[in-house]
Chain A
Amino acid sequence: MGFFQAFKLALKSLAGNKMRAFLTMLGIIIGVAAVIILVSLMQGLTGEVTSMFSDLGTEVLTVSVQSRGATRTVDDEDFYEFYAENNELFSAISPNVTVSGMVKQGNNEYSSSVKGVSEEYMAIEGYELTSGRFISYSDIEYYQKVCVIGSYLSKEAYNGNAVGNTIKVGGNKLTIIGVLEETDDSTEGSSDDLILLPYSTACKIGRTQINSYSFCVADTDNISYAEEVIDNYLYNIFKSDDYYTIINMQALIDQMEEMINMMTMVLVGIAGISLLVGGIGIMNIMLVSVTERTREIGIRKSLGARRRDIMRQFVIEAGTTSAMGGLIGIVLGTVFSIVLGDAIGINATPTVLAVGVSAGVSIFIGVLFGYLPASKASKLNPIEALRYE
């Protein structure tokens, strides 16, 4: 008897008792759906977190110095000197100054974020300009009261013709010299809602210090090494690592991914238990089925069915049951993942790998747990099986 024949027989047998077949499958359906939903949601979450952190720059090391209480300190000149000494390692540097001050244009107020940066900040962030120019070295050197604004302000306050106009930040009038291209969706509070000015000017008008320094590495593969170089430099100055912190986005992303992966493993492991229970359910029903069909097995054996014929019939029946359960589980899991993902706001479409592995596992479970009942059936004595009432 061929494989296809056995498969048809299995379908017929399942169709003969639909309710029982469905209940048998339920364990597998729930297990597979749970695994797919969890894996998809976790993968969606990882993707979301990664892209969020990548937006902040994976090639950028952010260094902040808290020299309060330390006997020595490091200022922007020191950092520029350090940057020049290591110019093969870094491609750009920018001090960052956060200015808190009311943004006003005419009588309108805005809550845009205001940042003091260097002329290389544009390269670090990968900004493009729609009009005008970016902050230059001389703007910084001479404390020029100029700024570059994001696309939100340009549209909202100047109808796109911002260059040459002025804007007030904390009472200081700044001349707009450039407009950035849209990076998000040009809405209030988005990354397009910002004002950049020379960091020297920012320190002055904000009466504040440089908060941190962004180092852009030339080669992202060297980022860990670059972090080490900065660390050594600062440690030599402070003789302690209490006075500075270096944030490596890539390392953060890696850590986050590792954490999410571990969580995924744990959750999938728990969901996997329901697959195991589903498999045991299949084994249970197959054992009942073998007992119920003892006479049929006797007839088949008397007509010349060999052990492997009977074996194949029952294993394929179990495999078909769990494969069908797996299929339904995949469909349900996919639908739920997409719907849930939508609700949370992440892309949780199951990957081909997740679907493929679930399908494979569900068939494997059916065959594994179908083996024992099938083996029992195949070893029945035909004389006794025929006599069975």
Chain B
Amino acid sequence: MTPIIDLRDIYKIYYMGDSEVRAADGVSLKIYEGEFVAIVGQSGSGKSTLMNIIGCLDVPTSGEYYLNGEDVSELKDDEQAHIRNKTLGFIFQQYNLIAKLNVLENVELSLLYAGISKSKRSAMAKEALERVGLSDKLKNFPNQLSGGQQQRVSIARALAGNPSIILADEPTGALDSKTSREVLDFLKKLNQEGNTIVLITHDNSIAAEAKRVVRIMDGKIIFDGDAGKAFEAR
């Protein structure tokens, strides 16, 4: 079986003055369809770099990245945008909703850039909002919603285009513990429904919710295995 995500010996090197920073230092990682993987690490460990590369927001300095069997490690701007649009759904810590668009329009955004017709766009967005339980808030604006609701809108936005992978970057970082719980439960539910989820977090207790944990330190993978074993090993 081909993995959805196949990182092969990925390096990402930044130069700060004379010193060299290896944000990704020979990372190899395979993620298969239907997995729920948490990438965990302290700030500065290189997990954000990894997430940017996985999310096709950045290209590695060297190494190969196959997404759905396709080499995406040397794409140009617009080609990356196309891949993001078709195969990836992002959930951000700060929700990243556009304030002047209403809930429905926010969810429709990626479909808009995919060139889907208006009626179909609206139907797909409504379906995604129904899945997160916000069918009654279509015309509301983000600032009229609670943090938890806003994060659910952003989840709906990530789901709307039926992406192969959902990439969640600290999705509970701005939420209280109760709403965090709800969001995590929802991600689990999505995973049970067959969605592949990659969760990036610095918080071990959140990472423990995933099936598989990948721990990053100084740009290297120092642990990769079952969530249960991840924490007893320490």
Contact = CB atoms under 8 A, between A and B. Distances in A.
A304 B110 contact: yes
A24 to B, nearest CB: 18
Interface stretch (A157-165, A200-208, A238-246, A295-303): A295-303
A303 B110 CA distance: 5
A20 interface: no
B120 to A, nearest CB: 14
A48 interface: no
A306 to B, nearest CB: 4
Interface string A299-315: 11111111111000000
Interface in A1-54: 1, 5, 12-13, 16
Interface of B is mostly: helix
Nearest to B113: A304
Nearest to A1: B112
Interface of A is mostly: helix
B185 interface: no
Contacts of A298: 96
Contact of A306 (B81, B110, B157): B81
A3 to B, nearest CB: 13
B86 to A, nearest CB: 7
B84 A302 contact: yes
A306 B113 contact: yes
B58 interface: yes
Interface in B43-82: 52, 55, 57-58, 77-78, 81-82
Contacts of A309: 113
A237 interface: no
A1 B98 CA distance: 17
A302, A303, A306, A386: residue with the most chain B Cβ atoms closer than 10 Å = A303
B100 interface: yes
Interface string B3-24: 0000000000000000000000
Interface in A271-311: 295-296, 298-309
A342 to B, nearest CB: 45
Contact of A1 (B77, B84, B92, B113): B113
A370 to B, nearest CB: 19
Interface string B102-117: 0000000110111100
A139 to B, nearest CB: 87
B114 A299 contact: no
B114 A304 contact: yes
A1 B112 CA distance: 6
A178 interface: no
B85 interface: yes
A386 B157 contact: no
A82 B115 CA distance: 83
A1 B121 CA distance: 12
A382 interface: yes
Contacts of A295: 96
A383 interface: yes
A383 B77 CA distance: 12
Given A298-B96, A304-B82, A308-B78, 12 more contacts: A13-B100, A16-B100, A299-B109, A302-B96, A303-B85, A303-B90, A303-B109, A303-B110, A304-B86, A304-B110, A304-B113, A307-B77
**7 residue pairs, one from A and one from B, having the closest CB atoms:** A304-B85, A303-B110, A304-B113, A306-B78, A306-B81, A299-B96, A304-B84
8 contacts: A1-B115, A12-B100, A13-B100, A304-B82, A304-B114, A306-B81, A306-B82, A386-B96
Interface of A: 1, 5, 12-13, 16, 295-296, 298-309, 382-383, 386
